[in-house]
Chains A and B, each alone.
Chain A
Amino acid sequence: MESEEVLKAVFPLLEGVDLASCMAVCKQWNDIAKDDFFWKCMCANRWPSICKRPNPLTETYYKLYKTFHKRQQRRTLLPPRISFDDLEFFIDIWAEDILLFSEAVSGSVLQSGFRSPASGVCDLLKYHLESSEYKMTFPVEPRFTIPSGQNQNVSVSVMVGRKDTNKVACIINKSMFDYIERSSYRALAYDYLDISPGYPFLPGIRAWISLLFMEEGSEDLMDVFGIQMDFCDVANSKEEVLWLLDMLDWK
């Protein structure tokens, strides 16, 4: 019996992983083992119903088996379809009816971030700003103050525009800065994102915005030197953020 015939008799008895290993032994074994008949046998053992049709669902049974024989590992994200250069963020902050801050911030500015001021920033906040973790921040120039009294309603709205399609989406719709962290000198607001109807099964995803303020301030006023935005419920890298923004309900 020639070695080729021996291999053809043995290969159908192997598991798929072992047959794949045989393909790496030498050219002769590879030529025999890549015969789709063997892989049809593998698929017939695993998914008998698929092999009832005359032709494989994919180009070859080998491709079908290779693709689906084990659970897919979490794949790396494909490159986002938009970039920060395409985006512009419109941020308005109000105390009651008084406009405190109103600015259009380009995506590239938000993306590039900033270093914290040399002095006057608490250690916790400085450590956070200078850490290597991904964050979207920009400096506030000139700085503004917000009242910290119990009866003051400080709210924020954030819209985002796309230069590539001339469309706009809402990120935060008049939410209150209702939680002030005096140990890390931040005021936080959030809102739930309006995701495109094209993604109907996504759960509530929040956008967060933080006002970063100086350590030495009066008890009544907080001196804001920077603003941070994030989507930490689901997106913690540049690519994830861009994918999330792409999924907004653009109008």
Chain B
Amino acid sequence: MASSLGVGSSHSHSSSGEIHLFVGPMFAGKTTSLLRRIKSEVDNGRNVAMLKSSKDNRYAVDSVVTHDGIKFPCWALPDLMLFKDKYGHEAYQKLDVIGIDEAQFFEDLYDFCCKAADEDGKIVVVAGLDGDYMRRSFGSVLHIIPIADTVTKLTARCELCGKRAFFTLRKTGEKQTELIGGADLYMPVCRHHYVNGQVVVEAAMKSVFGSQKVGCGSLIETAPVV
């Protein structure tokens, strides 16, 4: 049962691990990039497991779904360090690649990535938000930059002008500590429209409809209020 969510053949991992990081604002396609990478590893005959946070359980807890509807089985965990025990030590040994989605929710991200890549020789592919709606560091995602082999900052499209968007702006005036939501609460914006954020928020609140997602909702992420 434990190894049923590992995808691919039993293929011994390389002696030295790797860490690859995808960051960016909401709706930038981080999950899609993660799954593209994971799928290519599966196609190369590698044994793969996908992990995501169990904190956000609005959608399928046992799979990650990309914007074009591709589903990938995954483990929903509160902490990454629980993975080895839950997955099974033998099955873990056979793993080559570990994908981590919604990485900003894992407080033990740095320790897990260090152990998996440095000690266990795994390829770890990580996707998560780099900043919150205040453009401050979110979770431990930025902490793993010094140990990462590659870092890719993806961009979304500014909801106000269509240019490349690097930041996430909250549309509402909510001040609670953690506000889970998607396009109804957050929008990707360029620097210009982030700086003029209050104008944007007011415009969005006056909008007849709130922004909404259609199709699969798995790209909906969360951004905290710190």
Contacts and interface: CB of A to CB of B under 8 A. Distances in A.
Given A149-B214, A153-B69, A208 B157 contact: yes
A148 B215 CA distance: 9
A233 B36 CA distance: 18
A124 interface: yes
Interface in A172-220: 174-184, 186-192, 203-204, 206, 208, 210, 215, 219
B159 A178 contact: no
A178 B157 contact: no
Contacts of B210: 182
Contact of B68 (A176, A186, A188, A233): A176
A154 B187 CA distance: 21
B64 to A, nearest CB: 14
Given A124-B160, A232-B163, A233-B164, A182 B212 contact: yes
B162 A179 contact: no
B29 A190 contact: yes
Contact of B159 (A181, A215, A232): A181
A180 B159 contact: no
Interface string B153-189: 0010101111110000000000000000001000100
B36 A204 contact: yes
Nearest to B67: A178
A183 B36 contact: no
A206 B68 CA distance: 14
A153 B207 CA distance: 24
Contact of A179 (B152, B183, B208): B183
Contact of B211 (A124, A183, A192): A183
A180 B184 CA distance: 10
Interface string B183-224: 100010000000000000001100111111111110100000
Contact of A150 (B159, B163, B187, B213): B213
Nearest to A128: B162
A112 interface: no
B63 interface: no
Interface string A146-168: 00111011110000000000000
Contacts of A184: 159-162
A183 B33 contact: no
B27 interface: yes
A179 B67 CA distance: 9
A206 B212 CA distance: 22
Q: Which of B36, B68, B211 has the most CB of A within 10 A?
A: B68
A187 B27 CA distance: 13
Given A149-B214, A206-B29, A174 B159 contact: no
A183 B204 contact: yes
Interface string B131-156: 00000000000000000000010010
Contacts of A152: 214-215
Contacts of B159: 181, 183-184
A191 B204 CA distance: 27
Contacts of A174: 68
B214 A177 contact: yes
Contacts of A148: 212, 214
A208 B154 CA distance: 14
Nearest to A123: B203
Contacts of B68: 155, 174-176, 191
Nearest to B26: A179
Contact of A182 (B69, B152, B163, B208): B208
15 contacts: A148-B214, A150-B213, A150-B214, A152-B215, A155-B68, A176-B68, A176-B214, A178-B213, A179-B67, A180-B214, A181-B159, A182-B208, A182-B211, A230-B162, A232-B162
Interface of B: 27, 29, 33, 36, 67-69, 152, 155, 157, 159-164, 183, 187, 203-204, 207-217, 219
The 3 closest A-B pairs by CB, nearest first: A178-B215, A176-B215, A182-B209
Given A183-B160, A190-B29, 10 more contacts: A124-B161, A148-B212, A154-B214, A175-B68, A176-B216, A180-B211, A182-B207, A184-B160, A192-B36, A232-B163
